[in-house]
Structure 1
Amino acid sequence: MPIVKLGAEADWTNYHGTGVCEGAVRYALRSGDAARGRDELAAASAAVREWLADAQREGKRVRPLGAGWSPSNINICSQAWLLHTRRFNRCFRIGPGDVRPGVDAAGLMLVQSGALVDEVSDKLEEQGRSLWTSGAGNGQTFAGAAATGTHGSMVTRGGIQDHIRAVQVVTPSGVHWVEPAAGLMSDAFIAATGSAALRDDDLFAAVQLPVGALGIVTALVVDSVPKFLVRPIQNLRKVDCAALGWLAVGDFRRFSAAYALDREPDFVQMIVNPFKPLKRPAMLRFLYREEWRQDYPHATPGQMGAGYDALSLLGKLLDDYPWARGALLQFAMKQGYAAGPDVDDPPVYGTWGEGLDTHRPLADLFNASVTIDRSELARVFELICAVYTKYGGSTAVTIRFMERAQGLLAPARFAHNAVIDFDGPRSQRTADAYRRVVDLLDREGVAFTRHWAKSCHLDAARIAGDYGDDLTRWRAARDRLLPDPAHRALFGSPVLDGLGLTV
């Protein structure tokens, strides 16, 4: 059986220990051993549809769970049926005969919804292919990362959901294969998965980032690029106001020449201490893309500068000794973030996947973010630091850059985006500091969005204001997939209902 019950009613805690589904009944969707992916999907999607019917008869809401990675409460629903997809994680090649005429199948892979970003990356690299972007970690399921708008970090790319070319989603009314109007997979392939084809641009843009509210996603078609190498440079440097101006206008080459290599970077990250940020060194990280070659020396994620554990080690000190937080934050950055190679060190290379790592659980950490129009960076940076200087707080501020992401509810919705993360000890003091930041941005008229999977304090009015016509289009797509209000409620939760996504 593709779906098995995992035990009696009990509490379930997410990976980072930040949310609990009380009184939940857990089920697992598991892969079979079919030779063809389409046959696996046909069996699994039929089982999921039957499971949804059972839940509806029992009056239970349902939540799909991948790795349980989101630190926010976006996937929390008590007294619900939880469907774990983590063991539904096989990946399959797609051949030329599986796609419509004129479609190049070379970069495509069929991915079951429980496959981790790490597993997808590894499978692609075995085929000489690569993801082109992802979040900072790789422990999420690919479907879950896309469903919550996990931002990318390559300066000319969007979010991880931009890799998705088709989605299989199961609702009580049917098994749907959703792809753009131009089409992707052949009719025969879609029929073999047990799905009905829905070729529509708005429907596809909705299911690229469904926030868990549009049904049970069982599979994705993921696109890729030829495998490449990246060279990391990581150092501590003081950054001045002029440099912030270069970043705001997208002059990444000039910023790179001043602080690392005189060439176009593919990734730029700046971690700053908001207490005297221009007087204390910032942690800078650059990635430079290079052509693939077989004979490069393999580096570990740590050697490539990955890792975000310093703040978890110092979290209690940061919160217990607020008078010393500026110095302690700087110490954390120096000890935990400056492990990567600098300009004068022997070059280190790795694939995109080799530069990712799996975070340890972040139960003691606070995670939040805002995404702004990149042109507002200097102004917003000044506002943020003013809040911390006046009121305190114990978070480092991380800034990364990306282009507009696909998906109607993608937080990275500006043409050019600066994503600003706030990471620090989980405490009321830290949460209050973030709240003051977003309140000030609102008062100053700064347009921004927030990450669905992090602490975000969103409500229905805020989402309506942030997403406007795109939210209207998303809801219209939802109502086409789930025309029965009872079916929409099946995938709801107190959180999603309050955000206006399931009512």
Structure 2
Amino acid sequence: MATTREKAIGTWDTYHFTGPFPTKVLLDTRADGAIADPVARYNDCTHEIQQLLRNCLDRQERFRAFGSKWSLSNIAHQRDQLLYTGRLNGRMAIQPDDLHPSTTYDAVNLFFFQCGITIKEISEFLLKRGKSLKACGASNGQTIAGAISTGVHGAAIDAGAIQDAVVGLQLIVGPDPADVIYLERASRSALHDEFATRINARVVRNDALFRAALVSLGAFGVIHGVVIEAEDVYLLKRYVRKINRADALQLATTLDFAHARFKLPEETEADGTGKRPYHYKLYINPYTDEDFVTEIIYKKPYRTDYPNPVPLVQKAIFKDIPTWISQFAARCNGSIPAIIRALSREVFPTVDEDIEGTLGEIFWDTSQASAAFSCGFGIGIRNAERALDLYIGLMKTKGPIPGILSMRFVKASEATLAFTRFPVTCVLEIDGVPWPDHPRMITLDAFLTEVIKSFKANAIEFTLHWGKHAPWSFLNLVDTMYGQADEQWKDMRSVLLTKQMADVFSNDFLTTVRLADYRTRIPDELVALKADIAGNHG
């Protein structure tokens, strides 16, 4: 049987040391390796998690599952009981007999992963089968449940964020046998009801509930299993080049690579038009007029005779900003004044060598594990240049802020609370070194509040990355970002969960952003769905 070690810990922290946060108990669950059948072993873990939920109810405490602790916000934190899922990393291929009779999916591209498996482990598993994820973040340490729950993205302009490849979710919403649900879209069913029976789940097919559960913020129960659609393995050719501001922003506001002034000779068609890349990212020093740096990546057919890219990736400067800024700060001995002075000069080094590799190789391990701050605003690309100018202006007039900016571009997600919600979202990010409170230096929250006020005053619609720093207590922040979408999300959460379990899966973060509310009255069109789910609860 699966086993859980319970330990009183007092405090808990994130991977980036943005806490500590008060926590009573850490739960560490291990699957039973003696159970040979992967489905039986998985079901045994489901039973164990439900027992933990029963214990939580008996103690009248709250509960939250977490994986790699990657989020910088307190979204993964729980004051009472925290379940570490990193050892729950089962994986299996979907078979043709598992498919729903009306599905349009191909079984060779569908895979079932347990909640605690990391993006790195998934990439390695898929590569052995000639497959790849469609997209990932800048690194690979997140667990699959954590990545989709907070909307982890990269800069794949036509592929979307990680949650956009999800076709099914197994949710544990309570301690009873009927509280295990396999959820997928009604409009595009993927797996046969018999598959859900094999994993001791009952089927719920509903598009709106599925969209709400995709980016669930940990509030829709424990995501225990995820069905992902992969694709044939491919290579990525990565270039890092200096690019002047005008050319960079021409692309940032249009993504028209065919007619852009900036072109790579290696990626230009015979008629002179530029090829469309897989990935486009900009690095920006806000304190100088030096050129931007672009990381631009093109998708290529897979072949086996390419050089091992990992050694080059490991020493690449322009891999991810948090790693770079922490190394930059170390060279300044961690002194905030020294960092600010250094940023006032040209800081971007010689660009990296061209590299070719798979998705899992190009977006390799992150070595940074020191204190850092990071905030990501989502903006429609038509407002990208205006937003950047306002942001830089505030960094100079309200700061200085010890950080570097970047811009990434991501296709819209259908998830109800995806922060990549614009037709193409420009993710305007700042990554930097945290600083202690000082009477002559603005706090991070106060600075980001000024950014929000400026965007609102200039009619720039925006969202914020759920897993990063932000002034989350800003008045009506989520309503400002999502309009009625957050109300729909709360309706769906209230449809899925009982009031008691909704409270169990709530935490300080949800309360701060006013998403912990439970709806005792829901729209008429949802009554039948709630009754069906509630009836099956017991």
Q: Provide the secondary structure at the position in 1 that maps to 2:431.
A: strand
Alignment match, 1:121 = 123
Could you tell me which amino acid in structure 1 is paired with residue 257 of structure 2? F
> 1: CA distance between counterparts of 2:180 and 2:297?
41
Structure 1's 307 and 223: CA in aligned 2 closer, same or farther, altered over 3 A?
Answer: same
Could you tell me which amino acid in structure 1 is paired with residue 112 of structure 2? L
Report deviation, 1:16: 1.6
Alignment match, 2:341 = 324
> 2: CA distance between counterparts of 1:389 and 1:340?
32
Matched, 1:176 2:186: no
Alignment match, 1:287 = 297
Aligned residues: 488
Matched, 1:234 2:240: yes
Task: Select which of 405, 408, 414 maps to 1:406.
Answer: 414
Deviations 1:19-78 (A, max 9, x none): 234242111232334444432332222221221111011011111011111111111222
Give 1:214-225 correspondences, 5 Å limit. 214-225=220-231
Could you tell me which amino acid in structure 2 is paired with residue 320 of structure 1? P
Alignment match, 2:327 = 313
CA contact (8 A) 2:126 2:132 kept: yes
Matched, 1:424 2:441: no
Q: Provide the secondary structure at the position in 2 that maps to 1:22.
A: strand
Deviations 1:438-486 (A, max 9, x none): 221122121000000000222472112222232222112111111x322
CA contact (8 A) 1:235 1:340 kept: no
Deviations 1:297-355 (A, max 9, x none): 22112367535423112337462236624335x32x327xx3332xxxxxx31001101
Matched, 1:86 2:86: yes
> 2: CA distance between counterparts of 1:8 and 1:416?
45
Give 1:34-183 correspondences, 5 Å limit. 34-78=35-79, 80-101=80-101, 102=103, 103-172=105-174, 174-181=179-186, 182-183=188-189
> 2: CA distance between counterparts of 1:11 and 1:62?
15
Report deviation, 1:189: 1.1
Structure 1's 371 and 229: CA in aligned 2 closer, same or farther, altered over 3 A?
Answer: same
Runs of 4+, deviation exceeding 6 Å: none
Alignment match, 1:192 = 198
Q: Provide the secondary structure at the position in 1 that maps to 2:277.
A: coil
Alignment match, 1:344 = none
> 2: CA distance between counterparts of 1:211 and 1:417?
20
Q: 47-56 or 32-41, which moves further after superposition?
A: 32-41
Matched, 1:393 2:401: yes
CA contact (8 A) 1:133 1:154 kept: yes
Could you tell me which amino acid in structure 2 is paired with residue 167 of structure 1? L
Q: 51-60 or 315-324, which moves further after superposition?
A: 315-324
> 2: CA distance between counterparts of 1:42 and 1:420?
41
Q: Provide the secondary structure at the position in 2 that maps to 1:310.
A: helix
Alignment match, 1:436 = 450
TM-score, normalised with respect to structure 2: 0.86
> 1: CA distance between counterparts of 2:226 and 2:7?
29
Q: 111-120 or 372-381, which moves further after superposition?
A: 372-381
RMSD, aligned CA: 2.1
Structure 1's 396 and 323: CA in aligned 2 closer, same or farther, altered over 3 A?
Answer: closer
Report deviation, 1:369: 1.0
> 2: CA distance between counterparts of 1:133 and 1:267?
10
Matched, 1:463 2:478: yes
TM-score, normalised with respect to structure 1: 0.92
Alignment match, 1:370 = 377
Identity of aligned residues (%): 24
